[in-house]
Amino acid sequence: MISELGQPSGTFEEDRIISYRLGKRSGKYFMLDQKTEEDIKRGALSWLSGFEGRFSLVLVFDENHVLQKHSVVKVQ
């Protein structure tokens, strides 16, 4: 998973739960990196017209590393 999506923003329960920060603009999600998050907080990105907020993609795996659940949760 990490090889496909990059370094997660958070890991829990011995890496069985991982999360990634997302942004949403004009109905579409995109990955957020630390610099983009800081720019959003400062209002420094002109291309963010239509920005709908920040989200976390939460992925839950079983002991065999098989994805069991996923969800997208809006965060502040």
pLDDT in tens, 25-36: 888 898 887 777
Averaged confidence pLDDT in the chain:
85
Closest Cα to residue 37, out of 20, 15, 50? Answer: 20
pLDDT at 51: 77
Q: Report yes or no: 76 and 37 within 8 Å, Cβ to Cβ.
A: no
The pTM (predicted TM-score) of the whole model is: 0.77
Amino acid at position 62, single letter: D
Q: What is the Cα–Cα distance from 2 to 49, expressed in whole angstroms?
A: 30
